[in-house]
Chains A and B, each alone.
Chain A
């Protein structure tokens, strides 16, 4: 079975400061990992993914994430937060050996960027 944990319901960051949104995962084999963002009344939008290769992946809007296999983590980061980054962020995983094509999502983390 595959699962994702986002330990923080909410993260508050001052504008201009670096931000981190945490995600840990559990899979039987090797993971595909994703971050999606959800704005109010909008569909989830893809930010970035890790499939294979470099552990640091870069995505949309200046976001990046680091895959850490030993810690089974895939934390989302951005060097300098913008007020417009305020949204609900979801981490998702797919076990490439598990045979399931559906993504498993975490509960989400509300990111609030304060001016």
Chain B
């Protein structure tokens, strides 16, 4: 297993465009999390899935953000009508409720720059 994989690693877009990030978790992990990290800050929780069900979503998350995990494997995070304030590193993590739901394995992240 190669760990948690995120694509693309970097994305530069113009304000108002839509972007989509993909996360492939560790195959046996049933939980998948999305976090956002800006410079000088710790990761900020966005949402998480258990299998294909989205169980929690941050109250701070704009309606422009949507995440899916249709088959309980990979997940996508889409940001519509991007704004400059969306520029950040988007982190995906996964865990297993069998071996330890509280221990998250993170991917390297997808960096978004909105011009």
Q: Which residues of A contact B (CB under 8 A)?
A: 4, 32, 34, 36, 41-46, 49, 51, 90, 92, 94, 100-108
From the candidates A43, A51, A105, name the one contacting B44 in the complex (CB within 8 A): A105
Verify B102–A102 contact, CB threshold 8 A.
no
Known A102-B58, A107-B40; contact A44-B106, beta-carbon cutoff 8 A? yes
* A90:B108 contact, CB within 8 angstroms: no
Residues of B within 8 A of A105 (CB): 42-44
| Further pairs besides A43-B91, A100-B56: 20, Cβ < 8 Å | A34-B102, A43-B4, A43-B105, A43-B106, A43-B107, A43-B109, A44-B43, A44-B91, A46-B103, A46-B104, A46-B105, A49-B102, A90-B42, A92-B42, A101-B48, A102-B48, A104-B45, A105-B44, A107-B42, A108-B40
Contact B33 A102 (CB under 8 A): yes
